[in-house]
Amino acid sequence: MEDPAAAGAGSSSTNSNGNGGGKGKQAAPKGREAFRSQRRESEGSVDCPTLEFEYGDADGHAAELSELYSYTENLEFTTNRRCFEEDFKTQVQGKEWLELEEDAQKAYVMGLLDRLEVVSRERRLKVARAVLYLAQGTFGECDSEVDVLHWSRYNCFLLYQMGTFSAFLELLHMEIDNSQACSSALRKPAISIADSTELRVLLSVMYLLVENIRLERETDSCRWRTARETFRTELSFSVHNEEPFALLLFSMVTKFCSGLAPHFPIKKVLLLLWKVVMFTLGGFEHLQVLKVQKRAELGLPPLAEDSIQVVKSMRAASPPSYTLDLGESQLAPPPSKLRGRRGSRRQLLTKQDSLDIYNERDLFKTEEPATEEEEESAGDGERTLDGELDLLEQDPLVPPPPSQASLSAERVAFPKGLPWAPKVRQKDIEHFLEMSRNKFIGFTLGQDTDTLVGLPRPIHESVKTLKQHKYISIADVQIKNEEDLEKCPMSLGEEVVPETPCEILYQGMLYSLPQYMIALLKILLAAAPTSKAKTDSINILADVLPEEMPITVLQSMKLGIDVNRHKEIIVKSISALLLLLLKHFKLNHIYQFEYVSQHLVFANCIPLILKFFNQNILSYITAKNSISVLDYPCCTIQDLPELTTESLEAGDNNQFCWRNLFSCINLLRLLNKLTKWKHSRTMMLVVFKSAPILKRALKVKQAMLQLYVLKLLKIQTKYLGRQWRKSNMKTMSAIYQKVRHRMNDDWAYGNDIDARPWDFQAEECTLRANIEAFNSRRYDKPQDSEFSPVDNCLQSVLGQRLDLPEDFHYSYELWLEREVFSQPICWEELLQNH
């Protein structure tokens, strides 16, 4: 299908040529014929079936395990099995692993861990491979994929209980600090999968342990449940004065991006980091539980609805017909010729509107023609985004309700109501009363929302309705508490901060957080399908490229699929990781969330996400970059077939790729998190021409994805102008139906005070000052503070033990003579001064 941006450029050139004279008039009939044929060809391709997608923390268990391995690694499954069998035969005679009693299995694992502590690097790798084979489910003794997954989980619990994770953590520290491997990789012109063998084995074992133990099932024994909680605690908190495990993985990411360790298997690092954060902090459903608990602790009213369940119950809307829009925009008659047909068109639109509002049928079917300006803006936006993202390779910079339609005579099904309960902020009530008092009384009362003297009765009713839907968020309470602590540090005393896993992670990330965010966005940029290959970009394919490059067409096809799959998995892990971090930090403290958000914005995260969506999203979501016969655990049970074109193209029969749709929703949610209630960042969406890019994403018929696209369009409609709103009424209708209402939010008309010129730089600077004050107050605690208590007891002061240098007692007599005896003391003067 033709790209809308390219089509828009074409339409503008056609119109500009047509304005010249007679040639444009002669070309019009041909243009109409071309449009009709183009419309017939595209009618089938534009329509997308509703995608049966269930959003969650992660994909199915087997799919998450299979994405750990690239297809280039498949030969290593046999190597792992051979290393295990060679070692097992020397220790156990005449039996297989599955035939052993549990005590015998534990004894063998203890022996394996002892043999890990050898000097020889080669022998150590063989033992690590044997452990990896156990974690992979001893597939040589299994008959089905279900058996492999079952024994993989059983073995992982057994390995953890015997101390395998701690042993592999020590080996991982050694490999990270291995300067010889780093220098060897830096000298090589091309890095391959062979340069990261040891690291890949270690990270694979650790990932299998985390993923298998993280998975909760009702049939789990009490011992397994206890082991899971112990493992979660071990990963969350500092053990033996070491940093939490997630911080070690973050340091690997920054080291990789700095170019000091180009051989790191970055996909495995990111997958493990994402799963560790999910395991230790909790997934999306656990977040909802924590939110309910925190609101109860702060004395706030319970939530009106469960957002996860509301989104699940939503239905997708029909996508806009873009080819139809473009054709009509090219062939639309001048406004003067439309005047005679205005009445009939109005009746048609009225009838269609009533069906849309009450049946949710074909929201975009009669979308107004896209304007030339909008189509040209898509091309301009792409050029702008490219310029902004070039900066990401260098240094992070800061870049500059519809009316009620009359019901038709037909029978229509009336909806029960809008999906979301409306919300009103305290600020909205104050603003409404300020305007009303200025109008009817002539003066204001500041933040007083109770005194309604002198205001007409309808204003009383309005305030009552607003207060009924007033919503106080956890963030509002936290900001108020922070302001009080800043004003009265002495009277309120020191804040008690609970040592939660989220708090410990933030404390560890605090001073290196800008580097962590820049590194993640650089990798995301390199993995995005829209990014152009550049010589100075980082190489993220070190753990997928084979030692010997393919020599046949089939091998090249297989490697191409593997590379695309590799990039998709990286995008999936980074998008899920960033979203989890933002949501947990926002719940823990709003200024922790704002600190991470601001550094993401400074590192050009907003144009990066928009550039990601400036592609054919429908093609990306339906891409089949997988070879089912090569996926784990299928490849361990069946003999690998010979490569043929049919076997490569025979992917799964799903209508979409789960991980790509998951990534798109995560990136849209991330963009919503960054721009919500931030006028300066909303203006960035407008400046980067995001409206046509986001509208194209509505072609995907999936309710959750459409909801977050519509949210992003809603916050910027007031800045897009009346003409855009007029020509996109069906999109406005979809926003009205699917996005939560703010009662006095003037998003549909643009008359709000927030649509006026805004000092965007001051807004970000104020936010940054508040963040720095929070971080300084809570985490920077100097010893010689002016607020630190003073000990006035002479006996207590003289009894304090001071740390003196080791050589002090050698020169003690000399010091006593010089500093005490030779210094005359005038006691009378001393007493007079005090």
Q: Cα separation of 591 and 146, whole Å? A: 46
Q: Is the pLDDT of residue 128 over 70?
A: yes
Confidence label for 371 from pLDDT (cuts 50, 70 and 90) = very low
Residue 346: what are its φ and ψ, rounded to 5°?
-65, -40
| Structural domain includes residue 509 | yes
pLDDT of residue 652: 63
Last residue of a domain, one of 214, 236, 258: 236
Count other Cβ atoms within 10 Å, centred on residue 190. 11
Clarify whether residues 586 and 446 are in a common domain: no
187-191, 384-388, 672-676: segment of lowest average pLDDT: 384-388
For 385, the token pair is 């985004």
Q: What is the mean pLDDT of residues 100-108?
A: 94
Q: Is the pLDDT of residue 25 over 60?
A: no
Higher per-residue confidence, 52 vs 652:
52
Clarify whether residues 551 and 451 are in a common domain: no
Count other Cβ atoms within 10 Å, centred on residue 566. 22
pLDDT of residue 416: 61
Clarify whether residues 450 and 552 are in a common domain: no
Q: Cα separation of 267 and 192, whole Å? A: 14
Q: Cα separation of 207 and 191, whole Å? A: 23
Q: Is the pLDDT of residue 614 over 50?
A: yes
For 143-179, write each residue's pLDDT tens digit: 999 999 999 999 999 999 999 999 999 999 999 988 8
| Structural domain includes residue 32 | no
Clarify whether residues 507 and 446 are in a common domain: no
Clarify whether residues 450 and 556 are in a common domain: no
pLDDT of residue 490: 78
For 452-487, write each residue's pLDDT tens digit: 888 999 999 999 999 999 999 999 999 999 999 988
Where in the sequence is the domain holding 741, given as residue range(s)? 501-777
| Structural domain includes residue 213 | yes
DSSP string covering 163-184, please?
Answer: THHHHHHHHHHHHHT-HHHHHH
| Structural domain includes residue 246 | no
pLDDT of residue 359: 38
CA 560 to each of CA 69, 306, 475, 587, 613: distance values in angstroms, whole numbers, following the listed order = 15, 42, 46, 41, 22
Last residue of a domain, one of 221, 236, 251: 236
Clarify whether residues 225 and 92 are in a common domain: yes
pLDDT of residue 534: 65
Rg (CA), the chain: 32
Is residue 282 left, alpha or beta, with left meaning phi > 0 and alpha meaning psi from -120 to 50? left
pLDDT of residue 787: 59
Q: What is the mean pLDDT of residues 85-113?
A: 92
Please tell me the total count of domains within the chain: 3
Q: Is the pLDDT of residue 712 over 60?
A: yes
pLDDT of residue 786: 58
| Structural domain includes residue 8 | no
Clarify whether residues 111 and 222 are in a common domain: yes
Q: Is the pLDDT of residue 124 over 70?
A: yes
Last residue of a domain, one of 470, 488, 523: 470
Q: Determine contact, residues 608/694, Cβ cutoff 8 Å.
A: no
Place of tokens 């004003």: 487
Cβ-based burial of 645 (10 A; exposed 0-12, middle 13-18, buried ≥19): exposed
Q: Determine contact, residues 673/361, Cβ cutoff 8 Å.
A: no
CA 778 to each of CA 334, 485, 772: distance values in angstroms, whole numbers, following the listed order = 64, 10, 10
Q: What is the mean pLDDT of residues 558-574?
A: 95
| Structural domain includes residue 120 | yes
For 643-702, write each residue's pLDDT tens digit: 777 777 665 678 899 999 999 999 999 999 999 999 899 999 999 999 999 999 999 999
Q: Determine contact, residues 288/307, Cβ cutoff 8 Å.
A: yes
Confidence label for 751 from pLDDT (cuts 50, 70 and 90) = low
pLDDT of residue 404: 40
The contacts of residue 22 (CB under 8 Å, 6+ apart) are none
Instruction: Identify which of 228, 55, 222, 7 has the alpha carbon closest to the alpha carbon of residue 702.
Output: 55
Confidence label for 538 from pLDDT (cuts 50, 70 and 90) = confident
CA 754 to each of CA 479, 682, 684, 718, 727: distance values in angstroms, whole numbers, following the listed order = 21, 11, 15, 9, 23
Higher per-residue confidence, 529 vs 407:
529
pLDDT of residue 312: 86
Confidence label for 344 from pLDDT (cuts 50, 70 and 90) = very low
41-45, 222-226, 810-814: segment of lowest average pLDDT: 41-45
Q: What is the mean pLDDT of residues 748-770?
A: 75
Q: What is the mean pLDDT of residues 707-721?
A: 93
Q: Cα separation of 272 and 263, whole Å? A: 17
Confidence label for 372 from pLDDT (cuts 50, 70 and 90) = very low
pLDDT of residue 752: 54
Clarify whether residues 544 and 684 are in a common domain: yes
Clarify whether residues 547 and 653 are in a common domain: yes
For 396-434, write each residue's pLDDT tens digit: 444 444 344 333 333 334 346 788 989 999 999 998 999
Q: Determine contact, residues 768/598, Cβ cutoff 8 Å.
A: yes
Q: How much of the chain, in percent, has pLDDT values that exceed 90?
A: 53
pLDDT of residue 408: 37
Clarify whether residues 444 and 545 are in a common domain: no
For 476-526, write each residue's pLDDT tens digit: 999 999 999 988 887 887 888 999 999 999 999 999 999 999 999 999 999
Q: Cα separation of 634 and 626, whole Å? A: 13
Q: CA torsion angle for 173, 175, 180, 186 (degrees, to 10)?
A: -110
pLDDT of residue 650: 64
pLDDT of residue 320: 58
The contacts of residue 375 (CB under 8 Å, 6+ apart) are 4, 5, 7, 8, 9, 11, 12, 326, 329, 692
Instruction: Identify which of 507, 506, 486 has the alpha carbon closest to the alpha carbon of residue 495.
Output: 486
Q: CA torsion angle for 281, 284, 288, 291 (degrees, to 10)?
A: 40
Clarify whether residues 646 and 762 are in a common domain: yes
pLDDT of residue 535: 53
| Structural domain includes residue 613 | yes
| Structural domain includes residue 701 | yes
Q: What is the mean pLDDT of residues 6-14?
A: 38
Confidence label for 114 from pLDDT (cuts 50, 70 and 90) = very high
Mean pLDDT of the chain: 82
The contacts of residue 174 (CB under 8 Å, 6+ apart) are none
Q: Determine contact, residues 742/428, Cβ cutoff 8 Å.
A: yes
pLDDT of residue 794: 78
Q: What is the mean pLDDT of residues 726-746?
A: 90
Q: Cα separation of 707 and 146, whole Å? A: 37
Clarify whether residues 692 and 758 are in a common domain: yes
For 260-295, write each residue's pLDDT tens digit: 899 999 999 999 999 999 999 999 999 999 999 999
